[in-house]
Structure 1
Protein backbone atom coordinates (compact mmCIF):
# COMPACT_ATOMS: atom_id res chain seq x y z
CA UNK A 1 0.00 0.00 0.00
CA UNK A 2 1.39 3.37 -1.06
CA UNK A 3 1.05 6.18 1.48
CA UNK A 4 1.28 9.80 0.46
CA UNK A 5 4.15 11.57 2.18
CA UNK A 6 3.24 14.64 4.23
CA UNK A 7 4.97 17.58 2.62
CA UNK A 8 5.65 20.45 5.02
CA UNK A 9 6.77 22.70 2.17
CA UNK A 10 3.34 22.52 0.52
CA UNK A 11 1.62 23.25 3.84
CA UNK A 12 3.83 26.24 4.57
CA UNK A 13 3.55 27.46 0.99
CA UNK A 14 -0.26 27.40 1.00
CA UNK A 15 -0.34 28.97 4.46
CA UNK A 16 1.90 31.80 3.32
CA UNK A 17 -0.17 32.37 0.17
CA UNK A 18 -3.38 32.41 2.20
CA UNK A 19 -1.96 34.99 4.62
CA UNK A 20 -0.69 37.03 1.69
CA UNK A 21 -4.15 37.04 0.11
CA UNK A 22 -5.72 38.18 3.38
CA UNK A 23 -3.15 40.95 3.79
CA UNK A 24 -3.77 42.07 0.19
CA UNK A 25 -7.56 41.90 0.17
CA UNK A 26 -8.43 43.08 3.68
CA UNK A 27 -7.49 46.78 3.18
CA UNK A 28 -9.96 46.96 0.27
CA UNK A 29 -12.58 45.12 2.31
CA UNK A 30 -11.96 47.42 5.28
CA UNK A 31 -12.60 50.48 3.11
CA UNK A 32 -15.71 48.81 1.66
CA UNK A 33 -17.37 48.07 5.02
CA UNK A 34 -16.45 51.52 6.29
CA UNK A 35 -18.11 53.16 3.30
CA UNK A 36 -21.37 51.32 4.10
CA UNK A 37 -21.32 52.20 7.81
CA UNK A 38 -22.96 55.23 9.39
CA UNK A 39 -20.36 57.93 9.93
CA UNK A 40 -21.21 58.75 13.53
CA UNK A 41 -21.20 55.07 14.46
CA UNK A 42 -17.97 54.44 12.60
CA UNK A 43 -16.20 57.11 14.66
CA UNK A 44 -16.74 54.96 17.76
CA UNK A 45 -14.33 52.39 16.28
CA UNK A 46 -14.53 48.63 16.26
CA UNK A 47 -15.78 48.23 12.67
CA UNK A 48 -13.48 45.53 11.28
CA UNK A 49 -15.51 42.71 9.71
CA UNK A 50 -19.04 43.96 8.91
CA UNK A 51 -20.86 47.32 8.86
CA UNK A 52 -22.28 47.81 12.34
CA UNK A 53 -24.90 50.36 11.25
CA UNK A 54 -25.58 49.91 7.54
CA UNK A 55 -26.12 53.13 5.60
CA UNK A 56 -25.99 54.38 2.02
CA UNK A 57 -25.70 58.01 3.08
CA UNK A 58 -21.97 58.21 2.29
CA UNK A 59 -22.51 57.12 -1.29
CA UNK A 60 -25.49 59.45 -1.55
CA UNK A 61 -23.28 62.42 -0.64
CA UNK A 62 -20.54 61.39 -3.07
CA UNK A 63 -22.86 60.58 -5.97
CA UNK A 64 -24.91 63.77 -5.68
CA UNK A 65 -21.91 65.88 -6.72
CA UNK A 66 -22.46 66.86 -10.38
CA UNK A 67 -18.71 67.12 -10.93
CA UNK A 68 -18.50 63.37 -10.42
CA UNK A 69 -20.32 62.64 -13.68
CA UNK A 70 -18.18 65.09 -15.65
CA UNK A 71 -15.08 63.42 -14.28
CA UNK A 72 -16.53 59.97 -14.99
CA UNK A 73 -17.16 60.91 -18.63
CA UNK A 74 -13.62 62.26 -19.02
CA UNK A 75 -12.09 59.15 -17.41
CA UNK A 76 -14.15 56.75 -19.55
CA UNK A 77 -13.30 58.59 -22.77
CA UNK A 78 -9.65 58.82 -21.76
CA UNK A 79 -9.44 55.15 -20.85
CA UNK A 80 -11.17 53.88 -24.00
CA UNK A 81 -9.50 56.20 -26.53
CA UNK A 82 -6.12 56.17 -24.80
CA UNK A 83 -6.02 52.38 -24.54
CA UNK A 84 -7.08 51.74 -28.14
CA UNK A 85 -4.70 54.29 -29.67
CA UNK A 86 -1.79 53.18 -27.50
CA UNK A 87 -2.27 49.52 -28.40
CA UNK A 88 -2.61 50.24 -32.12
CA UNK A 89 0.31 52.66 -32.39
CA UNK A 90 2.68 50.66 -30.16
CA UNK A 91 1.81 47.42 -31.96
CA UNK A 92 2.49 49.03 -35.34
CA UNK A 93 5.92 50.24 -34.23
CA UNK A 94 6.65 46.85 -32.64
CA UNK A 95 5.71 45.03 -35.83
CA UNK A 96 8.10 47.23 -37.82
CA UNK A 97 10.88 46.66 -35.27
CA UNK A 98 10.33 42.90 -35.48
CA UNK A 99 11.05 42.86 -39.23
CA UNK A 100 14.68 42.03 -39.98
CA UNK A 101 14.62 43.98 -43.25
CA UNK A 102 13.77 47.31 -41.54
CA UNK A 103 16.37 49.90 -42.50
CA UNK A 104 18.34 51.21 -39.48
CA UNK A 105 16.46 48.88 -37.15
CA UNK A 106 19.33 48.64 -34.65
CA UNK A 107 19.80 52.45 -34.22
CA UNK A 108 16.04 52.86 -33.80
CA UNK A 109 15.98 50.14 -31.17
CA UNK A 110 18.81 51.67 -29.13
CA UNK A 111 17.29 55.15 -29.37
CA UNK A 112 14.09 53.71 -27.93
CA UNK A 113 15.97 52.03 -25.10
CA UNK A 114 17.73 55.28 -24.16
CA UNK A 115 14.35 56.91 -23.50
CA UNK A 116 13.62 54.21 -20.91
CA UNK A 117 16.46 55.43 -18.70
CA UNK A 118 16.81 59.14 -19.49
CA UNK A 119 14.25 61.94 -19.73
CA UNK A 120 14.23 65.70 -20.08
CA UNK A 121 12.33 66.35 -16.85
CA UNK A 122 8.96 67.88 -16.10
CA UNK A 123 9.65 71.48 -17.16
CA UNK A 124 11.01 70.65 -20.67
CA UNK A 125 8.16 68.18 -21.05
CA UNK A 126 5.65 70.89 -20.14
CA UNK A 127 7.21 73.31 -22.64
CA UNK A 128 7.02 70.71 -25.41
CA UNK A 129 3.33 70.11 -24.70
CA UNK A 130 2.73 73.85 -24.63
CA UNK A 131 4.40 74.32 -28.02
CA UNK A 132 2.23 71.52 -29.38
CA UNK A 133 -0.90 73.32 -28.07
CA UNK A 134 -1.81 70.35 -25.87
CA UNK A 135 -2.09 72.24 -22.58
CA UNK A 136 -5.73 72.48 -21.48
CA UNK A 137 -6.71 70.01 -24.18
CA UNK A 138 -8.24 66.56 -23.88
CA UNK A 139 -5.55 65.25 -26.22
CA UNK A 140 -2.87 65.89 -23.60
CA UNK A 141 -4.13 62.64 -22.07
CA UNK A 142 -3.95 60.70 -25.34
CA UNK A 143 -1.08 61.79 -27.61
CA UNK A 144 1.85 61.61 -25.12
CA UNK A 145 0.84 58.09 -24.08
CA UNK A 146 0.30 56.67 -27.57
CA UNK A 147 3.68 54.95 -27.54
CA UNK A 148 5.46 53.04 -24.79
CA UNK A 149 8.95 51.60 -25.21
CA UNK A 150 8.35 48.96 -22.54
CA UNK A 151 5.15 47.80 -24.24
CA UNK A 152 6.98 47.82 -27.58
CA UNK A 153 9.51 45.36 -26.17
CA UNK A 154 6.66 43.12 -24.96
CA UNK A 155 4.97 43.23 -28.37
CA UNK A 156 8.29 42.71 -30.14
CA UNK A 157 9.06 39.58 -28.14
CA UNK A 158 5.65 38.15 -29.01
CA UNK A 159 5.83 39.02 -32.72
CA UNK A 160 9.22 37.33 -33.07
CA UNK A 161 7.65 34.05 -31.93
CA UNK A 162 5.24 34.06 -34.88
CA UNK A 163 6.71 31.77 -37.59
CA UNK A 164 8.40 33.66 -40.42
CA UNK A 165 6.81 31.25 -42.90
CA UNK A 166 3.41 32.85 -42.29
CA UNK A 167 4.76 36.24 -43.28
CA UNK A 168 6.47 34.81 -46.36
CA UNK A 169 3.34 33.01 -47.54
CA UNK A 170 1.25 36.16 -47.13
CA UNK A 171 3.85 38.14 -49.10
CA UNK A 172 3.74 35.59 -51.92
CA UNK A 173 -0.06 35.96 -52.02
CA UNK A 174 0.39 39.69 -52.61
CA UNK A 175 -0.41 41.09 -49.16
CA UNK A 176 1.40 44.25 -48.14
CA UNK A 177 2.89 44.84 -44.68
CA UNK A 178 -0.14 46.75 -43.39
CA UNK A 179 -2.50 43.95 -44.49
CA UNK A 180 -0.26 41.30 -42.91
CA UNK A 181 -0.15 43.28 -39.66
CA UNK A 182 -3.94 43.70 -39.41
CA UNK A 183 -5.09 40.35 -40.81
CA UNK A 184 -2.43 38.01 -39.44
CA UNK A 185 -0.36 39.41 -36.58
CA UNK A 186 -3.17 41.16 -34.69
CA UNK A 187 -5.50 38.11 -34.54
CA UNK A 188 -2.58 35.94 -33.38
CA UNK A 189 -1.65 38.42 -30.63
CA UNK A 190 -4.84 38.49 -28.56
CA UNK A 191 -3.11 37.51 -25.27
CA UNK A 192 -0.47 40.24 -25.45
CA UNK A 193 -3.02 42.76 -26.76
CA UNK A 194 -5.30 42.07 -23.78
CA UNK A 195 -2.40 42.27 -21.33
CA UNK A 196 -0.99 45.54 -22.63
CA UNK A 197 -4.53 46.87 -22.97
CA UNK A 198 -5.17 46.13 -19.29
CA UNK A 199 -1.95 47.91 -18.30
CA UNK A 200 -2.93 50.96 -20.35
CA UNK A 201 -6.51 50.96 -19.07
CA UNK A 202 -5.36 50.87 -15.43
CA UNK A 203 -2.86 53.67 -16.13
CA UNK A 204 -5.43 55.94 -17.77
CA UNK A 205 -8.13 55.19 -15.20
CA UNK A 206 -5.90 55.88 -12.19
CA UNK A 207 -3.92 58.79 -13.61
CA UNK A 208 -4.47 62.24 -12.12
CA UNK A 209 -1.01 63.86 -12.03
CA UNK A 210 -1.01 64.89 -15.70
CA UNK A 211 -4.47 66.44 -15.30
CA UNK A 212 -3.28 68.33 -12.22
CA UNK A 213 -0.22 69.71 -14.06
CA UNK A 214 -1.36 70.18 -17.66
CA UNK A 215 -5.01 71.24 -17.33
CA UNK A 216 -6.89 73.92 -15.44
CA UNK A 217 -10.35 73.51 -16.97
CA UNK A 218 -12.98 71.93 -14.77
CA UNK A 219 -14.56 70.04 -17.68
CA UNK A 220 -11.23 68.26 -18.32
CA UNK A 221 -10.89 66.98 -14.76
CA UNK A 222 -10.80 63.14 -14.69
CA UNK A 223 -12.52 61.13 -12.03
CA UNK A 224 -9.37 60.39 -10.01
CA UNK A 225 -8.41 64.05 -9.67
CA UNK A 226 -11.96 64.95 -8.71
CA UNK A 227 -12.11 62.22 -6.07
CA UNK A 228 -8.74 63.31 -4.70
CA UNK A 229 -10.21 66.79 -4.28
CA UNK A 230 -13.33 65.31 -2.69
CA UNK A 231 -11.22 63.31 -0.24
CA UNK A 232 -9.32 66.46 0.73
CA UNK A 233 -12.57 68.42 1.01
CA UNK A 234 -14.47 65.69 2.88
CA UNK A 235 -14.69 67.76 6.06
CA UNK A 236 -16.19 70.65 4.08
CA UNK A 237 -18.63 68.36 2.26
CA UNK A 238 -19.81 66.66 5.45
CA UNK A 239 -20.68 70.05 6.97
CA UNK A 240 -22.19 71.55 3.83
CA UNK A 241 -25.37 73.55 4.28
CA UNK A 242 -26.87 71.73 1.26
CA UNK A 243 -26.86 68.40 3.11
CA UNK A 244 -29.94 67.84 5.32
CA UNK A 245 -29.25 67.57 9.08
CA UNK A 246 -30.60 64.02 9.21
CA UNK A 247 -28.04 62.99 6.59
CA UNK A 248 -25.17 64.83 8.28
CA UNK A 249 -25.70 62.68 11.36
CA UNK A 250 -25.12 59.56 9.23
CA UNK A 251 -21.87 60.61 7.58
CA UNK A 252 -18.35 61.50 8.63
CA UNK A 253 -15.16 62.67 6.97
CA UNK A 254 -13.64 59.18 7.05
CA UNK A 255 -16.66 57.34 5.64
CA UNK A 256 -17.09 59.88 2.83
CA UNK A 257 -13.45 59.34 1.88
CA UNK A 258 -13.96 55.59 1.87
CA UNK A 259 -17.02 55.89 -0.35
CA UNK A 260 -15.09 58.10 -2.77
CA UNK A 261 -12.26 55.56 -2.90
CA UNK A 262 -14.66 52.71 -3.69
CA UNK A 263 -16.38 54.70 -6.44
CA UNK A 264 -13.04 55.05 -8.23
CA UNK A 265 -11.90 51.47 -7.58
CA UNK A 266 -14.93 49.34 -8.43
CA UNK A 267 -15.00 49.91 -12.24
CA UNK A 268 -11.46 48.66 -12.83
CA UNK A 269 -12.05 45.74 -10.43
CA UNK A 270 -15.02 44.71 -12.55
CA UNK A 271 -12.95 44.70 -15.76
CA UNK A 272 -9.93 42.80 -14.41
CA UNK A 273 -11.52 39.30 -14.02
CA UNK A 274 -12.37 39.19 -17.74
CA UNK A 275 -8.72 39.84 -18.70
CA UNK A 276 -6.95 37.99 -15.89
CA UNK A 277 -6.15 34.88 -17.96
CA UNK A 278 -4.46 37.05 -20.60
CA UNK A 279 -2.63 38.93 -17.85
CA UNK A 280 -0.70 35.79 -16.84
CA UNK A 281 0.06 34.94 -20.48
CA UNK A 282 1.41 38.42 -21.10
CA UNK A 283 3.86 38.15 -18.22
CA UNK A 284 5.29 35.02 -19.82
CA UNK A 285 5.98 36.88 -23.07
CA UNK A 286 9.09 38.52 -21.61
CA UNK A 287 10.64 35.10 -20.98
CA UNK A 288 10.23 33.94 -24.57
CA UNK A 289 13.38 33.46 -26.60
CA UNK A 290 13.74 36.28 -29.15
Structure 2
Protein backbone atom coordinates (compact mmCIF):
# COMPACT_ATOMS: atom_id res chain seq x y z
CA UNK A 1 0.00 0.00 0.00
CA UNK A 2 1.46 3.37 -0.98
CA UNK A 3 1.98 6.16 1.52
CA UNK A 4 -0.48 8.38 -0.36
CA UNK A 5 -3.30 5.84 0.03
CA UNK A 6 -2.76 5.72 3.79
CA UNK A 7 -3.11 9.49 4.15
CA UNK A 8 -6.42 11.20 4.90
CA UNK A 9 -7.87 13.85 2.62
CA UNK A 10 -6.82 16.58 5.04
CA UNK A 11 -3.23 15.30 5.12
CA UNK A 12 -3.12 15.15 1.31
CA UNK A 13 -4.39 18.73 1.06
CA UNK A 14 -1.84 19.88 3.62
CA UNK A 15 1.01 18.15 1.77
CA UNK A 16 -0.11 19.69 -1.52
CA UNK A 17 -0.34 23.18 0.02
CA UNK A 18 3.07 22.79 1.67
CA UNK A 19 4.69 21.67 -1.58
CA UNK A 20 3.05 24.56 -3.46
CA UNK A 21 4.46 27.08 -0.97
CA UNK A 22 7.91 25.47 -1.09
CA UNK A 23 7.98 25.50 -4.90
CA UNK A 24 6.86 29.15 -4.93
CA UNK A 25 9.60 30.08 -2.46
CA UNK A 26 12.21 28.21 -4.50
CA UNK A 27 11.17 30.04 -7.66
CA UNK A 28 11.27 33.41 -5.88
CA UNK A 29 14.80 32.65 -4.66
CA UNK A 30 16.14 31.16 -7.89
CA UNK A 31 14.70 33.63 -10.38
CA UNK A 32 16.87 36.64 -9.41
CA UNK A 33 19.97 34.43 -9.60
CA UNK A 34 18.98 33.04 -13.01
CA UNK A 35 18.09 36.51 -14.28
CA UNK A 36 21.44 38.02 -13.27
CA UNK A 37 23.34 35.04 -14.67
CA UNK A 38 21.48 35.32 -17.98
CA UNK A 39 22.15 39.06 -18.27
CA UNK A 40 25.85 38.57 -17.47
CA UNK A 41 26.16 36.02 -20.31
CA UNK A 42 24.22 38.05 -22.87
CA UNK A 43 25.28 40.38 -25.63
CA UNK A 44 24.79 44.14 -25.07
CA UNK A 45 21.55 44.22 -27.08
CA UNK A 46 20.10 41.29 -25.13
CA UNK A 47 21.27 42.66 -21.76
CA UNK A 48 19.47 45.96 -22.42
CA UNK A 49 16.23 44.21 -23.38
CA UNK A 50 13.57 44.78 -20.69
CA UNK A 51 11.63 41.88 -19.26
CA UNK A 52 12.43 38.43 -17.95
CA UNK A 53 15.78 36.82 -18.74
CA UNK A 54 15.76 33.06 -18.12
CA UNK A 55 18.61 32.18 -20.44
CA UNK A 56 21.00 34.09 -22.73
CA UNK A 57 19.50 34.08 -26.22
CA UNK A 58 22.76 35.47 -27.61
CA UNK A 59 25.69 34.14 -25.61
CA UNK A 60 28.68 36.35 -24.77
CA UNK A 61 31.49 36.22 -22.19
CA UNK A 62 32.67 39.77 -22.85
CA UNK A 63 31.40 41.16 -19.55
CA UNK A 64 33.33 38.52 -17.56
CA UNK A 65 36.44 39.05 -19.68
CA UNK A 66 36.28 42.78 -19.10
CA UNK A 67 35.66 42.39 -15.37
CA UNK A 68 38.65 40.10 -14.85
CA UNK A 69 40.92 42.48 -16.76
CA UNK A 70 40.39 45.10 -14.05
CA UNK A 71 42.87 45.22 -11.18
CA UNK A 72 40.15 46.25 -8.71
CA UNK A 73 38.43 42.88 -9.08
CA UNK A 74 41.58 40.94 -8.23
CA UNK A 75 42.43 43.26 -5.33
CA UNK A 76 38.92 42.81 -3.94
CA UNK A 77 39.10 39.06 -4.48
CA UNK A 78 42.40 38.75 -2.62
CA UNK A 79 41.24 40.83 0.34
CA UNK A 80 37.90 39.01 0.53
CA UNK A 81 39.56 35.58 0.35
CA UNK A 82 42.09 36.61 3.00
CA UNK A 83 39.35 37.86 5.27
CA UNK A 84 37.13 34.83 4.72
CA UNK A 85 39.80 32.15 5.13
CA UNK A 86 41.76 33.71 7.98
CA UNK A 87 38.69 35.09 9.75
CA UNK A 88 36.78 31.81 9.60
CA UNK A 89 39.79 29.77 10.77
CA UNK A 90 40.60 32.08 13.69
CA UNK A 91 36.94 32.31 14.69
CA UNK A 92 36.63 28.53 14.77
CA UNK A 93 39.79 28.21 16.86
CA UNK A 94 38.80 30.87 19.40
CA UNK A 95 35.15 29.82 19.66
CA UNK A 96 36.09 26.14 19.96
CA UNK A 97 38.43 26.90 22.87
CA UNK A 98 35.83 29.07 24.58
CA UNK A 99 32.93 26.67 23.99
CA UNK A 100 34.93 23.67 25.19
CA UNK A 101 35.85 25.42 28.43
CA UNK A 102 32.26 26.53 29.06
CA UNK A 103 30.97 23.01 28.44
CA UNK A 104 32.85 21.62 31.47
CA UNK A 105 30.83 21.38 34.66
CA UNK A 106 33.97 21.57 36.77
CA UNK A 107 34.83 25.04 35.42
CA UNK A 108 34.55 27.46 38.40
CA UNK A 109 31.73 30.01 38.02
CA UNK A 110 30.74 28.50 34.67
CA UNK A 111 27.17 29.85 34.82
CA UNK A 112 28.42 33.35 35.62
CA UNK A 113 30.79 33.35 32.64
CA UNK A 114 28.06 32.00 30.38
CA UNK A 115 25.68 34.74 31.52
CA UNK A 116 28.26 37.44 30.82
CA UNK A 117 28.89 36.06 27.33
CA UNK A 118 25.16 35.78 26.54
CA UNK A 119 24.72 39.36 27.77
CA UNK A 120 26.84 40.61 24.87
CA UNK A 121 24.17 39.34 22.47
CA UNK A 122 21.83 42.09 23.72
CA UNK A 123 24.16 44.95 24.66
CA UNK A 124 27.23 46.43 22.97
CA UNK A 125 29.35 49.54 23.16
CA UNK A 126 27.88 51.02 19.99
CA UNK A 127 29.36 52.07 16.68
CA UNK A 128 31.27 55.19 17.73
CA UNK A 129 32.97 53.70 20.83
CA UNK A 130 33.88 50.63 18.78
CA UNK A 131 35.34 52.82 16.03
CA UNK A 132 37.40 54.79 18.58
CA UNK A 133 38.61 51.54 20.13
CA UNK A 134 39.68 50.10 16.78
CA UNK A 135 41.53 53.32 15.97
CA UNK A 136 43.22 53.59 19.37
CA UNK A 137 44.66 50.06 19.31
CA UNK A 138 46.13 50.51 15.83
CA UNK A 139 43.76 48.35 13.78
CA UNK A 140 42.31 51.19 11.73
CA UNK A 141 42.97 50.84 8.00
CA UNK A 142 44.34 47.31 8.40
CA UNK A 143 42.90 43.99 7.28
CA UNK A 144 42.76 42.87 10.93
CA UNK A 145 40.05 45.47 11.56
CA UNK A 146 37.80 43.26 9.41
CA UNK A 147 38.61 40.10 11.36
CA UNK A 148 39.24 40.76 15.05
CA UNK A 149 36.03 42.70 15.93
CA UNK A 150 33.92 39.78 14.65
CA UNK A 151 36.20 37.01 15.89
CA UNK A 152 33.60 35.64 18.29
CA UNK A 153 29.92 35.24 17.54
CA UNK A 154 28.21 34.66 20.88
CA UNK A 155 25.27 32.72 19.47
CA UNK A 156 27.50 30.37 17.49
CA UNK A 157 29.76 29.76 20.48
CA UNK A 158 26.77 28.85 22.65
CA UNK A 159 25.68 26.37 19.97
CA UNK A 160 29.15 24.82 20.00
CA UNK A 161 29.10 24.70 23.80
CA UNK A 162 25.83 22.79 23.77
CA UNK A 163 27.23 20.35 21.21
CA UNK A 164 30.28 19.67 23.38
CA UNK A 165 28.03 19.13 26.41
CA UNK A 166 26.25 16.32 24.55
CA UNK A 167 29.46 14.36 23.91
CA UNK A 168 29.95 11.25 26.09
CA UNK A 169 32.06 12.07 29.12
CA UNK A 170 33.46 8.53 29.04
CA UNK A 171 35.57 9.39 25.98
CA UNK A 172 37.45 12.08 27.86
CA UNK A 173 37.71 10.01 31.05
CA UNK A 174 39.34 7.13 29.18
CA UNK A 175 41.77 9.55 27.51
CA UNK A 176 42.72 11.02 30.87
CA UNK A 177 43.41 7.54 32.22
CA UNK A 178 45.83 7.10 29.31
CA UNK A 179 47.60 10.31 30.36
CA UNK A 180 46.13 12.84 27.91
CA UNK A 181 45.74 16.45 29.00
CA UNK A 182 42.89 18.81 28.10
CA UNK A 183 44.61 20.17 24.97
CA UNK A 184 45.30 16.66 23.67
CA UNK A 185 41.72 15.58 24.40
CA UNK A 186 40.35 18.61 22.56
CA UNK A 187 42.62 18.24 19.54
CA UNK A 188 42.64 14.45 19.14
CA UNK A 189 39.20 13.40 20.39
CA UNK A 190 36.70 16.24 20.62
CA UNK A 191 37.50 18.10 17.38
CA UNK A 192 37.50 14.99 15.10
CA UNK A 193 34.06 13.91 16.33
CA UNK A 194 32.70 17.48 16.15
CA UNK A 195 32.95 17.87 12.38
CA UNK A 196 29.18 18.48 11.93
CA UNK A 197 29.05 21.49 14.23
CA UNK A 198 32.44 22.83 13.10
CA UNK A 199 31.45 22.58 9.44
CA UNK A 200 28.13 24.30 10.11
CA UNK A 201 29.61 27.15 12.14
CA UNK A 202 32.45 27.40 9.62
CA UNK A 203 29.96 27.86 6.79
CA UNK A 204 28.05 30.51 8.69
CA UNK A 205 31.22 32.41 9.49
CA UNK A 206 32.51 32.11 5.91
CA UNK A 207 29.23 33.50 4.53
CA UNK A 208 29.38 36.33 7.06
CA UNK A 209 32.94 37.30 6.16
CA UNK A 210 32.34 36.95 2.42
CA UNK A 211 29.22 39.12 2.38
CA UNK A 212 30.09 41.64 5.12
CA UNK A 213 30.98 45.11 3.83
CA UNK A 214 30.11 47.59 6.57
CA UNK A 215 33.33 47.15 8.58
CA UNK A 216 35.37 47.67 5.42
CA UNK A 217 33.38 50.82 4.70
CA UNK A 218 34.13 52.47 8.06
CA UNK A 219 37.56 51.00 8.90
CA UNK A 220 39.37 50.86 5.54
CA UNK A 221 40.67 53.89 3.64
CA UNK A 222 43.49 52.30 1.64
CA UNK A 223 41.99 51.22 -1.70
CA UNK A 224 44.44 48.32 -1.91
CA UNK A 225 42.64 46.75 1.08
CA UNK A 226 39.03 47.05 -0.02
CA UNK A 227 36.96 43.88 -0.22
CA UNK A 228 34.94 42.67 -3.18
CA UNK A 229 31.62 43.62 -1.62
CA UNK A 230 32.67 47.29 -1.41
CA UNK A 231 33.41 47.26 -5.14
CA UNK A 232 30.05 45.61 -5.76
CA UNK A 233 28.29 48.19 -3.61
CA UNK A 234 29.93 51.05 -5.48
CA UNK A 235 28.80 49.65 -8.82
CA UNK A 236 25.23 48.72 -7.96
CA UNK A 237 24.09 50.74 -4.94
CA UNK A 238 26.11 53.94 -5.32
CA UNK A 239 26.23 53.69 -9.15
CA UNK A 240 29.85 54.85 -9.12
CA UNK A 241 30.60 56.20 -12.61
CA UNK A 242 34.35 56.31 -11.99
CA UNK A 243 34.42 52.65 -11.00
CA UNK A 244 32.32 51.71 -14.00
CA UNK A 245 34.57 53.67 -16.36
CA UNK A 246 37.54 51.76 -14.99
CA UNK A 247 35.80 48.46 -15.66
CA UNK A 248 34.83 49.45 -19.20
CA UNK A 249 37.97 51.38 -20.11
CA UNK A 250 39.32 48.75 -22.51
CA UNK A 251 36.01 47.72 -24.03
CA UNK A 252 33.92 49.32 -26.72
CA UNK A 253 30.17 49.83 -26.44
CA UNK A 254 29.65 47.02 -28.92
CA UNK A 255 31.27 44.50 -26.54
CA UNK A 256 29.70 45.24 -23.14
CA UNK A 257 27.24 47.57 -21.44
CA UNK A 258 27.08 48.63 -17.81
CA UNK A 259 24.14 46.31 -17.04
CA UNK A 260 25.99 43.19 -18.18
CA UNK A 261 29.17 44.27 -16.35
CA UNK A 262 27.23 44.81 -13.12
CA UNK A 263 25.62 41.40 -13.51
CA UNK A 264 29.00 39.79 -14.17
CA UNK A 265 30.59 41.36 -11.09
CA UNK A 266 27.58 40.28 -9.03
CA UNK A 267 28.00 36.69 -10.20
CA UNK A 268 31.76 36.82 -9.59
CA UNK A 269 31.04 37.87 -6.01
CA UNK A 270 28.31 35.27 -5.48
CA UNK A 271 29.41 32.00 -7.07
CA UNK A 272 32.53 31.24 -4.96
CA UNK A 273 30.62 31.09 -1.66
CA UNK A 274 27.96 28.89 -3.30
CA UNK A 275 30.63 26.42 -4.37
CA UNK A 276 31.64 25.82 -0.74
CA UNK A 277 28.27 24.44 0.36
CA UNK A 278 28.28 21.06 -1.48
CA UNK A 279 31.53 20.06 0.24
CA UNK A 280 30.04 20.38 3.74
CA UNK A 281 26.42 19.50 2.97
CA UNK A 282 26.73 16.08 4.62
CA UNK A 283 27.58 17.78 7.93
CA UNK A 284 25.20 20.71 7.65
CA UNK A 285 21.84 19.02 8.41
CA UNK A 286 23.19 17.25 11.48
CA UNK A 287 25.08 20.25 12.77
CA UNK A 288 22.26 22.73 12.41
CA UNK A 289 20.00 20.66 14.68
CA UNK A 290 22.26 21.27 17.66
CA UNK A 291 21.65 24.23 19.83
CA UNK A 292 19.14 24.98 22.56
CA UNK A 293 20.50 27.11 25.40
CA UNK A 294 21.35 24.91 28.38
CA UNK A 295 22.68 25.71 31.82
Q: TM-score, normalised by structure 2?
A: 0.90
Match of 2:81 in 1: 76
Deviates more, 1:229-238 or 1:21-30: 229-238
Match of 2:63 in 1: 58
CA 97–20 in structure 1, closer or farther in 2 if over 3 Å, else same: same
Match of 1:152 in 2: 157
Secondary structure at the counterpart of residue 121 of structure 2:
helix
Match of 2:5 in 1: 4
Q: Structure 2 unaligned runs (5+)? A: none
Deviates more, 1:226-235 or 1:63-72: 226-235
CA 280–11 in structure 1, closer or farther in 2 if over 3 Å, else same: same
**Deviation sequence 1:162-191 (CA, Å, 0-9, x none):** 111222222222211111111111011000
Question: 1:29 offset after TM fit, Å?
Answer: 0.6
Instruction: Report matched runs for 1:1-290 at 5 Å.
Output: 4=5, 7-231=12-236, 232-233=238-239, 235-236=241-242, 242-245=249-252, 248-287=253-292
Q: How many residues align?
A: 288
- Asked if 2 retains the 8 angstrom alpha-carbon contact of 1:211 and 1:222, the reply is yes
**Counterparts of 1:239 and 1:121, CA distance in 2:** 37
Query: What's the RMSD between the two structures over aligned residues?
Result: 2.2
**Deviation sequence 1:132-180 (CA, Å, 0-9, x none):** 1111112112222222211111101100111112222222222111111
Q: Structure 1 unaligned runs (5+)? A: none
- Asked if 1 retains the 8 angstrom alpha-carbon contact of 2:160 and 2:291, the reply is no
- Asked if 1 retains the 8 angstrom alpha-carbon contact of 2:66 and 2:251, the reply is no
**Counterparts of 1:23 and 1:209, CA distance in 2:** 27
**Deviation sequence 1:6-28 (CA, Å, 0-9, x none):** 62322232222222211111111
**Counterparts of 2:72 and 2:242, CA distance in 1:** 16
CA 244–69 in structure 1, closer or farther in 2 if over 3 Å, else same: closer
- Asked if 2 retains the 8 angstrom alpha-carbon contact of 1:234 and 1:256, the reply is no
Q: TM-score, normalised by structure 1?
A: 0.92
- Asked if 2 retains the 8 angstrom alpha-carbon contact of 1:39 and 1:252, the reply is yes
Question: 1:78 offset after TM fit, Å?
Answer: 1.1
**Counterparts of 1:123 and 1:80, CA distance in 2:** 28
**Counterparts of 1:181 and 1:57, CA distance in 2:** 51
- Asked if 2 retains the 8 angstrom alpha-carbon contact of 1:234 and 1:253, the reply is no
CA 111–36 in structure 1, closer or farther in 2 if over 3 Å, else same: same
Question: 1:48 offset after TM fit, Å?
Answer: 2.4
Secondary structure at the counterpart of residue 189 of structure 1:
helix
**Counterparts of 2:191 and 2:75, CA distance in 1:** 34
